[in-house]
Amino acid sequence: MHNPLTALQLRKECPPGACTCKRELLENDPNSDIRVLLLTKEEEKKLIARIESITNYAELLYIIERMQAQLGIVLTIAPSANEVRTIRGINIHLEEKPGLCKKVRQSIPAAVRRLLDKQPQIAYAILDAHDLFGRS
């Protein structure tokens, strides 16, 4: 069966031993979800810039939703189980996925952290959404 995504530009492979993305699992399974490979280095730069330009919590949720819908990338942002005193107390995690490059797994959470440093009202909205301000 022909996969229509193979005609699109896909992310280039990392040098051998430089990454733990398990891309070979995608290439060896014809039924695998290769949408994550659509995130080329150029598209990754655009995504990082887009994340860093977010101005409110609703926009952040929208970008998270679009990343999951278009690329199959699951990003979770939630307060840590311990006390949150700074932005560092908010957990930002990309779910492991074959084909998701190690650099992407680092760059997206770093961009979100920079966003939260620059736009603290978004961090407050995350805390509020997880009911850490104690409202009933």
Domain ranges of the chain: 33-129
Instruction: Give this prediction's pTM.
Output: 0.81
Length of the chain in residues, anyone? Answer: 136
Q: What confidence tens digit (pLDDT) does each residue in 3-29 have?
A: 544 556 878 877 777 777 887 777 777
Residue 70 burial (CB count, 10 A):
12
Q: What confidence tens digit (pLDDT) does each residue in 55-73 have?
A: 999 999 999 999 999 999 9
Buried residues in 9-37 as b, exposed as e (16+ CB within 10 A): ebbeeeeeeebebebeebeeeeeeebbbb
Contact 126, 79 (CB under 8 A): yes
